[in-house]
Chain A
Amino acid sequence: MTAEPLPETAAVYWRPRVDERGLRRRGRIWTLTTVAHTVPYGIASGVLLWLEPLTAPVVFALLAHAWVIPELYAKRGANVLRRRPRSDAGAERTALGLLGDLVGHEARALHARTGLVIERGALGVWLVGEAGAILVRPGGRRVHCWCVRAQDSSLPSADRIAHLLLALRSDEQGFATVANLAFSGARRRVRRRLPPALRPALDAAGAAARR
């Protein structure tokens, strides 16, 4: 990766540039937020049940909250890889040819199976989709899910990916700075919320991040 900053970072000048330390800090904040969303409900449920077993329906509602809120966040993370409507077949084929030229054999095969491109970076292993990317951190356990897209809705799907891939390769930290963080947490939480067809791509990224 080169040190030349991505020009789009000028549009988000107020954001600190994403780096290794910043990612770790944001990961911790997300973990604390998840704890804050679940533990109080758990404690309140225990206390209520202990004081009055007849409050069981309320306890059930509290526990449902404790489960649903983190799941919704994970779903938001998984949604960054959601596929968009296809444009015309000829344009898709042409765009696919260019994308195929940009990536290696393994990434090409994964894209054919899942519609996602895997890319190793300095911050971890990226899984690039049409309107977002998931960064699997070294070790493979934590992911950061980013919403980011090319500003042209007429582009075929493979070109949308190629846009993100080229920006990522030009300046990985700048790419993460421009993108909006939708979720950070355990990879398995996002995997559960992904459509089954996309899970092999996240598994491959997880395996690559462990190497």
Chain B
Amino acid sequence: MARLIRMDGSGHTTLAKWSTADERAVEAAVAAFREQLDAGYYAVVTEGEGRARQVDELPVDADLVILRRPIAGG
């Protein structure tokens, strides 16, 4: 089961779960994903140790999509 999670003050929150066979779940995940991007989050997919990819469309075949806040120089 793939997951869309958002890093936030609670540690992280699971916003959607889906499997590629379940169209309704995928649609809900895509909607949740869009909503978070519109709210200013960035989405990242991990690709094995030491690798990650920024995405602006929900990669339906990914196991885990993580939403993060922007970073800035301190």
* A94 contact set on B, CB distance < 8 A: 10-12
The bracket for how many chain B residues form the interface is 20 to 34
Residues of B that sit less than 8 Å from A by CB? 5, 7-12, 42, 44, 46, 49-54, 66, 68-74
A8 to B9, CA, bound (A): 21
- In the complex, the answer to whether B9 meets A154 with C-beta atoms within 8 Å is yes
B53 nearest CB neighbor, chain A only: A2
B74 touches A180 (CB 8 A): yes
Residues of A at under 8 Å CB distance from B? 1-2, 4, 6-8, 11-12, 80, 87, 90-98, 102-104, 119-121, 131-132, 146-152, 154-156, 158-159, 162-164, 166-167, 169-171, 175, 178-180
Asked if B71 and A148 sit within 8 Å, CB to CB, the answer is yes
B50 touches A166 (CB 8 A): no
Is the Cβ of A151 less than 8 Å from the Cβ of B12? no
Q: How far is the CA of A12 from the CA of B66 in the complex (A)?
A: 24
A86–B44 Cα gap in the complex (Å)? 25
Interface of B is mostly: strand
The answer to whether A170 and B71 touch (CB under 8 A), given A91-B10, A98-B7, is: no
Q: Are B74 and A148 in contact (CB under 8 A)?
A: yes
| Chain B residues positioned under 8 Å from A91 (CB to CB) | 9-11
Return A121 CB to nearest CB of chain B, in Å.
Answer: 8
Contacts A169-B46, A169-B52, A171-B54; A8 near B11 (Cβ below 8 A) = no
